[in-house]
A = this chain, B = another copy of it.
Amino acid sequence: KAGWSDLDIRAVDTVRVLAADAVQKVGNGHPGTAMSLAPAAYLLYQNVMKHDPADPQWLGRDRFVLSCGHSSLTQYIQLYFSGYGLELADLKALRTWRSLTPGHPEVHHTTGVEVTTGPLGSGLATAVGMAFAQRRVRGLLDPDAAKGASPFDHHVWVIASDGDIMEGVTHEASALAGHQELGNLTVIYDQNTISIEDKTEISFSEDVGKRYEAYGWNVETIDWRGDGDGETYVEDVDALLAACEKSRSASKPTLIILRTIIAWPSPTKQDTGKSHGSALGDAEIAGLKELLGFDPKQNFEVSRELITHVRKVKARGKAAHKEWDKGYKAWRKANADGAALLDRLVARELPAGLAKAVPSFPADPKGVATRAASGKVLGALAGVMPELWGGSADLAESNNTTMEGQPSFIPSEKQTREWSGGPYGRTLHFGIREFGMGLILNGIALSGLTRPYGGTFLVFSDYMRAAARLAAIQEIGVTFVWTHDSIGLGEDGPTHQPIEHIASLRAIPGFDVIRPADANETAAAWLAILQNDRPAGLCLSRQALPTQDPKVAGKVANVSKGAYVLREASSGTPDVILIATGSEVGVAMAAADTLEAAKVATRVVSMPCREWFERQSKSYQEKVLPASVRARVSVEAGVPMGWRDLVGDAGEIIAIDHFGASADAATLFREFGFTPDKVVAAAKRSV
């Protein structure tokens, strides 16, 4: 039993009033859910979750994810109550410039927020990734502890809304959560049956509980609505607490379907679409305050007594942390290697010897596919970098994302003839669920300590684009491995051939798009990606690419600068500069042979990552691309968009601005104009 006092009840009612006041003050926002979920959120922060407001990064803390990010007040008010640093002034500054209380919760911006949410479905799917990470970290550091007895045991709590449940990515992540038997995950689904178009029944009539049972979840229903009309509305927090506590020791994920009335107990706007996304208005708020025993003339009314009471959670958190410290210290004492590893992971330092572990590849005109080189690099890193793990959305062999010999992350009874592993395994199997994969990777990264990667075909970056964007917004070190990066994939045809993808991914702010030219650039790219610890998309070829001189192309310093001179012109000053990425670097190199033979002094610049190049000093940029050399040709098997910035008015762009076709790669490169001859002709026009 929660055993709430009158002050707790008053605190919950204060949440409702503060939510209404805060939205009213700024004039827009989402009051309804914050009001009706007040008891649930208060219960989580005060009675359920293991957390210590004084140490928001406490390793032993539970994680909280507000998947319905629009109801950010649900979290902000609890952070204020719990003493995470938010104060009443911050609530008054809701949704205003530079406030700590933006429209949707933002990680790294507001203390106590673990994840940036807002795009529906994304929070729940990210939380699944956090639950993955908890299990993997436990397996890395403390695999033999009894259930619940490890300092690395914690639970992931999610509040989700009707909108979250409708989204496709929620399906993907929930199916995987059920499959993975994530007993460390509880989703409280606020079934208020109201969304922006009012009653959700207009578009939503599935049996959600049955659906989640089909995924293999435990499903509990707690119906505060009773017969569905407000007369019998009972906020039974004891039932909710019991379901939460039960879920904490479950062997499967739990969905708690909590049937609520949105904006309860707002006198006339409860249970309406209007209360979801609009200020309630002064009259309605006055009515609400009268109903709850607040002074209708006062706004943001919080007594000192109340704050003193709710902030007792700090002492409870401190005590819990202290208790946890005992077990943690005992673990450190007994696990010197584990403790050293943990310290390194917490500091986000790379392992010693990482650079040496990366393989190098001899020059080879035939070469290998960069996806194959990437697979070799991952295999080589497996031993030195236990925090690195990942997998594929059912394309393991095509994406070369499996570290050879590493076990699968999978309940033991779900091993197959092809894949062995266990719950603490390392190789991830996402099934054909790209968007779910992307957000799970984000969740792993946000959980801290480990570093995830995941693969699919580049063309399907479209399916998971919102995940890449959220990785960028959150500035987290997730690596998306996107293979089959051009028409070079060949016969699968236009639906599978990326054309616009490289450019369109480059358009995402704060996201690095890397397209290595050969095996050694691939190896150097992996190293740079890990050093940078930023969101990155690694675009890799299906087809073999010649391995360039490793003394140039293999240098990490070159690759990590984003662009470098791969081949210098025969004379000191080039007549023309060819700029190419990935598989087209080989084309440019062949064109340079022809041009030099025709006495055109030709420099070839390999540009594996434009974002990295743009971060270099102006002097380095000038060294690679001197302003005085205006004859320039870019070559990339993608849309021309963005290349004019580099080649200038006088330059030429070799690109493709239409969809591909089904044929072998050699035919496509020839028919679509990615040949040395075309580059030579363009170079001559540019000169």
Any chain B CB within 8 A of the CB of A622? Answer: no
Beyond A469-B462, A493-B103, whether A641 also contacts B198 by CB under 8 A is no
Within 8 A of B (CB), among A621-656: 639-642, 644-645, 648-649
Let me know if B118 and A206 touch, CB within 8 A: no
Enumerate chain B residues within 8 angstroms of A496, measured Cβ to Cβ.
103-104, 118-119
**Cβ 8 A contact of A398, one of B196, B210, B394, B648:** B196
Any chain B CB within 8 A of the CB of A215? Answer: yes
Any chain B CB within 8 A of the CB of A315? Answer: no
**Cβ 8 A contact of A166, one of B175, B210, B216:** B175
Within 8 A of B (CB), among A148-172: 162-164, 166-172
Let me know if A431 and B204 touch, CB within 8 A: yes
Let me know if B201 and A414 touch, CB within 8 A: yes
**Cβ 8 A contact of A662, one of B102, B208, B494, B495:** B102
**Cβ 8 A contact of A199, one of B97, B175, B416:** B416
Beyond A462-B466, A500-B507, whether A662 also contacts B103 by CB under 8 A is yes
Enumerate chain B residues within 8 angstroms of A608, measured Cβ to Cβ.
none
Stretch at the interface among A351-359, A432-440, A518-526: A432-440
**Total A residues in contact with B, Cβ cutoff 8 Å:** 121
For A506-527 the 0/1 string (1 means CB < 8 A from B) is 1111100000000000000000
Enumerate chain B residues within 8 angstroms of A398, measured Cβ to Cβ.
196
Let me know if A432 and B198 touch, CB within 8 A: no
Any chain B CB within 8 A of the CB of A249? Answer: no
Let me know if A168 and B204 touch, CB within 8 A: no
Let me know if A167 and B168 touch, CB within 8 A: yes
Copies in the complex: 2
Docked CA distance A459–B658 (Å): 24
A165 and chain B: residue at smallest CB distance: B432
Let me know if A104 and B500 touch, CB within 8 A: no
Min C-beta distance of A160 to chain B, whole Å: 12
Let me know if A491 and B26 touch, CB within 8 A: yes
Beyond A197-B418, A493-B118, A494-B473, whether A429 also contacts B202 by CB under 8 A is yes
Any chain B CB within 8 A of the CB of A397? Answer: yes
Let me know if B97 and A671 touch, CB within 8 A: yes
Enumerate chain B residues within 8 angstroms of A324, measured Cβ to Cβ.
none
Enumerate chain B residues within 8 angstroms of A98, measured Cβ to Cβ.
661, 663
Let me know if B206 and A216 touch, CB within 8 A: yes
Any chain B CB within 8 A of the CB of A664? Answer: yes
Beyond A469-B462, A503-B641, whether A667 also contacts B97 by CB under 8 A is yes
Min C-beta distance of A639 to chain B, whole Å: 5
A489 and chain B: residue at smallest CB distance: B103
Let me know if A206 and B214 touch, CB within 8 A: yes
**Cβ 8 A contact of A214, one of B207, B216, B661:** B207
Any chain B CB within 8 A of the CB of A612? Answer: no
Min C-beta distance of A539 to chain B, whole Å: 15
Beyond A102-B661, A417-B198, A510-B658, whether A172 also contacts B166 by CB under 8 A is yes
Let me know if A29 and B418 touch, CB within 8 A: no
Enumerate chain B residues within 8 angstroms of A641, measured Cβ to Cβ.
503, 506-507, 641-642
Within 8 A of B (CB), among A162-197: 162-164, 166-172, 175-176, 178-179, 195-197
Let me know if A491 and B28 touch, CB within 8 A: yes
Any chain B CB within 8 A of the CB of A349? Answer: no
Docked CA distance A206–B642 (Å): 44
Any chain B CB within 8 A of the CB of A298? Answer: no
Docked CA distance A662–B69 (Å): 13
Enumerate chain B residues within 8 angstroms of A491, measured Cβ to Cβ.
26, 28-29, 95-96, 103
Let me know if A462 and B460 touch, CB within 8 A: no
Any chain B CB within 8 A of the CB of A236? Answer: no
Let me know if A203 and B429 touch, CB within 8 A: yes
**Cβ 8 A contact of A204, one of B175, B202, B664:** B175
A164 and chain B: residue at smallest CB distance: B432
Let me know if B509 and A499 touch, CB within 8 A: yes
Let me know if B509 and A500 touch, CB within 8 A: yes
Docked CA distance A451–B668 (Å): 34
For A374-397 the 0/1 string (1 means CB < 8 A from B) is 000000000000000000101111
Any chain B CB within 8 A of the CB of A463? Answer: yes
A468 and chain B: residue at smallest CB distance: B462
Within 8 A of B (CB), among A115-141: 116-121
| Residues of A in contact with B (beta carbons under 8 Å apart) | 26, 28-29, 69-70, 95-99, 102-104, 106, 116-121, 162-164, 166-172, 175-176, 178-179, 195-211, 213-216, 273, 392, 394-398, 408, 410, 414-419, 429-433, 435-436, 459-460, 462-463, 465-466, 469-470, 472-473, 490-496, 499-500, 503-504, 506-510, 639-642, 644-645, 648-649, 657-659, 661-664, 667-668, 671
Identify the 6 closest CB pairs spanning chains A and B, nearest first. Answer: A168-B168, A102-B662, A203-B431, A118-B495, A171-B171, A97-B663
8 contacts between A and B (CB under 8 A): A95-B491, A103-B491, A196-B396, A197-B419, A504-B507, A507-B639, A641-B642, A649-B649
Having A470-B495, A642-B642, one finds 14 other A-B pairs with CB under 8 Å, namely A96-B664, A98-B661, A118-B493, A168-B172, A171-B172, A179-B205, A201-B414, A208-B214, A273-B418, A465-B465, A473-B659, A500-B509, A509-B657, A641-B641
